[in-house]
């Protein structure tokens, strides 16, 4: 399904299904910004979303016209979702462009899907052409087929899958995956889970590669607090394949292993406090290189004002950074909301000297009518490419009954 060819089809569906649509939205977004040479230009996007019915058949669509390179540049069209779905007795079906769950991540699939479930057992079969999404563009894809079986019992969840993919830019790969989760019923609510994904590059004739192995466990320790620990190892069977970027850590040049722990506390006066740390090992040709990953965040509200500060730290063979961010959301009235965002990121590439990127932004949203929402944003930023980058923009959301 070509994304340009499907835009007229989506417009036709919008026109045909508007009268029966449960949700039909049109959102226009525009932004004034500067390019790498400091020249000002206007970028814009037009989004269409549809959630409706045509008799017993559900119609879902999500498409965009993209002028992100400037209004004086050719428009780019993207269809992210365009599908029909319904039931045929005990079997649910979908056809068109849809989101489906793959062994490594969700996939955008041009094809069909069948699902059946009864007494805690479910079967799922999907096939077609899976698309790789780069930023906002759906690139050429690869043939994709997947069969998964799931069982849900008292305190036990199991899912097993078999998946194959092949294409011009993707050597034929067969994947098998298994997910398991066990939970207890005691006061501590203990739980444990595991995930395995094994891949075999059939054309290369090599051995199967354990692409993803992960173990998790956790329990409640009282006072609204819970703790968890995990260990995992990831490695791409073929980092150059179309979907090799699903294993982002593979860009480090080999397998990546980590072990970590986390804490989460929930209370009555604030939403949640969470913190975690992981020790990371990057397996490279010249030996293992160690890294660290740490995160902490808090989310709370008082008098309708919500504050969400956070901190993240990453260090590895490519460098290190700290990311300190905060967001404040405050209602100005029943129909108007204000948010303020701040981000400070000290970073270092390799062994270079430390530098700092910063951003400060604010946004105002106003629900003029239940069918009309207007918002405006302004941002000031500093990064490696620009000493001072000022951006402003707005959006207009139309909801149709």
Query: Higher pLDDT residue, 11 or 271?
Result: 271
Backbone φ, ψ for residue 11 (5° rounding): -60, -40
Q: What is the pTM of this model?
A: 0.82
* 331-342 average pLDDT score: 95
Q: What confidence category does residue 19 fall into, taking pLDDT thresholds of 50, 70 and 90?
A: very low
**Above 70 in pLDDT, residue 8?**
no
User: pLDDT tens digits for 208-226?
Assistant: 889 899 999 999 998 889 9
pLDDT at residue number 21: 55
User: pLDDT tens digits for 296-324?
Assistant: 999 988 888 999 999 999 998 889 999 99
Beta-carbon count within 10 A of 263 CB: 16
**Above 90 in pLDDT, residue 339?**
yes
* 131-160 average pLDDT score: 83
Cβ neighbours of residue 145 closer than 8 Å, sequence gap 6 or more: 126, 127, 163, 164, 165
pLDDT at residue number 18: 45
User: pLDDT tens digits for 81-130?
Assistant: 999 999 988 899 999 999 988 888 888 899 999 999 998 999 999 999 98
Tokens of 178: 């298994």
Beta-carbon count within 10 A of 53 CB: 13
User: pLDDT tens digits for 227-265?
Assistant: 999 999 988 877 666 555 555 554 556 788 999 999 999
Write out the DSSP string of 289-314.
Answer: EEEEEEEEEEEEEETTEEEEEEEEEE
If you average pLDDT over every residue of the chain, what do you get? Answer: 87
Tell me 38's DSSP state: S
Yes or no: say if 167 and 242 are a contact pair by the CB < 8 Å rule.
Answer: yes
* 336-352 average pLDDT score: 94
* Percent residues over pLDDT 70 in the chain: 87
């Amino acid at each position: 399904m070509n994304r340009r060819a499907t835009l007229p089809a989506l417009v036709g569906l919008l026109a045909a299904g508007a009268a029966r649509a449960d949700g039909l939205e049109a959102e226009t977004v525009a932004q004034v910004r500067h390019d790498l040479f400091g020249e000002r230009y206007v970028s814009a996007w037009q989004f269409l979303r549809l959630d409706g019915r045509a008799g017993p058949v559900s119609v879902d669509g999500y498409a965009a016209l993209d002028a992100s390179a400037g209004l004086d540049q050719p428009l780019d069209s993207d269809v992210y979702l365009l599908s029909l779905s319904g039931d045929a007795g005990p079997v649910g079906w979908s056809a068109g462009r849809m989101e489906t769950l793959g062994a490594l991540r969700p996939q955008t699939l041009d094809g069909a899907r069948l699902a059946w479930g009864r007494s805690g057992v479910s079967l799922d079969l999907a096939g077609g052409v899976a698309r790789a999404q780069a930023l906002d563009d759906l690139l050429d894809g690869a043939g994709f087929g997947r069969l998964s079986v799931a069982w849900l019992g008292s305190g036990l969840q199991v899912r097993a899958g078999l998946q194959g993919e092949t294409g011009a830019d993707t050597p034929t790969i067969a994947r098998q995956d298994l997910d398991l989760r066990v939970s207890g019923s005691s006061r501590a609510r203990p739980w444990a889970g595991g995930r395995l994904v094994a891949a075999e590059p059939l054309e290369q004739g090599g051995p199967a590669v354990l692409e993803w192995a992960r173990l998790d466990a956790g329990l409640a320790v009282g006072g609204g607090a819970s703790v968890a620990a995990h260990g995992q190892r990831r490695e791409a069977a073929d980092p150059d394949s179309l979907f090799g970027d699903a294993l982002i850590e593979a860009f480090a040049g080999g397998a990546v292993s980590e072990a970590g722990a986390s804490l989460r506390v929930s209370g009555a006066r604030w939403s949640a406090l969470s913190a975690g740390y992981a020790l990371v090992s990057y397996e490279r040709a010249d030996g293992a290189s160690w890294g660290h990953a740490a995160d902490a965040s808090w989310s709370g509200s008082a008098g309708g004002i919500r504050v969400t500060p956070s901190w993240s730290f990453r260090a590895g063979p490519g460098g290190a950074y700290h990311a300190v961010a905060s967001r404040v959301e405050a209602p100005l009235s029943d129909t108007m909301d204000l948010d303020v965002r701040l981000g400070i990121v000290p970073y270092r590439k390799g062994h270079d000297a430390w530098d700092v990127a910063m951003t400060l932004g604010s946004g105002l949203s106003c629900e003029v009518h239940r069918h009309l929402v207007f918002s405006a944003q302004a941002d000031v930023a500093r990064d490696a490419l620009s000493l001072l980058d000022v951006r402003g923009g707005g959006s207009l959301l139309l909801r149709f009954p």
